Amino acid sequence: MNFWEYLVNRHQQLLTDAYQHASAVFQCMVVATLLGVLIGVATYRSEWAGNLATTTTATVLTVPALALIGLLIPVVGLGVAPTVIALTLYGLLPVVRNCVVGLRQVDPSLVDAATGIGMSRPARLLRIELPLAWPPILTGIRVATQMLMGIAAIAAYASGPGLGNVIFRGLASLGSANALNQVLAGTLGIVVLALLFDAAYVLIGRLTIPRGIRA
């Protein structure tokens, strides 16, 4: 059968895989964002601490995804667990780095003014520094999400959820009638999801970033 016939016949399964793929990436990005911002907030005031946080999270990216997932399997088993851990670790660097950079770029005079009117440090952080650092943080989240879309496909190696299963089934049956259709459907599905997520981030940016500080 041709590609369009394959999509029509398997659309229900493909939609299920696409939903699982998007859900895994979204949930891992929520965790990576929370952890990344916490790490950034805890380290940005110190030059060495910020550099250590950035270097440590960058080191994770030097480990091939397939190798990391393979190392996690004996520890946490197959399925969702190694997928969540790997994706969360890979998603940290752009968030941590951009959070540190964004907080360090906040005009010190604004922080001094807030201190002068009696704002506590937590209040300054929540009401002044983080809102001004939000544009680069959001950029980091966008970059991390695009990375995780592709990396999540490799999670099928550990019986993880998502469109990677479609791709792996196609690769495992090369030469069969639907092998190319499976690889193409999984790949295009990931591309479409990545574009949809990016469009959502653009909308979030327009809704949450004041025009005066919008890049």
Domains by residue range for the chain, with CATH = 3-213 (1.10.3720.10)
Higher-pLDDT residue of 192, 122: 192
> Mean pLDDT score of the chain, rounded to an integer?
91
pLDDT digit string (tens) for 133-181? 999 999 999 999 999 999 999 988 888 889 999 999 898 888 787 889 9
- Of 82-86, 104-108, 117-121, 149-153, the one with minimum mean pLDDT is 117-121
CB atoms within 10 A of CB 209: 15
CB atoms within 10 A of CB 36: 28
> What is the end-to-end Cα distance of the chain in Å, rounded?
48
pLDDT at 36: 97
State how far Cα 176 lies from the chain centre.
34
pLDDT at 93 over 70: yes
Q: Would the pTM count as exceeding 0.85? A: yes
Cβ-proximal residues to 18 (8 Å cutoff; 6+ apart), any chain? 162, 163, 189, 192, 193
**Cα separation, 6 vs 202, whole angstroms:** 33
Give the chain's length: 215
Higher-pLDDT residue of 171, 37: 37
Rounded mean pLDDT of 10-36? 95
pLDDT at 5 over 90: no
Question: What is the DSSP secondary-structure string of the chain?
Answer: --HHHHHHHHHHHHHHHHHHHHHHHHHHHHHHHHHHHHHHHHHTTSHHHHHHHHHHHHHHHTS-HHHHHHHHHHHH-SSHHHHHHHHHHHHHHHHHHHHHHHHHTS-HHHHHHHHHTT--HHHHIIIIIHHHHHHHHHHHHHHHHHHHHHHHHHGGGGT-SSTHHHHHHHHHTTTSTTHHHHHHHHHHHHHHHHHHHHHHHHHHHHHHS-GGG--
What φ, ψ does residue 45 adopt, rounded to 5°?
-75, -20
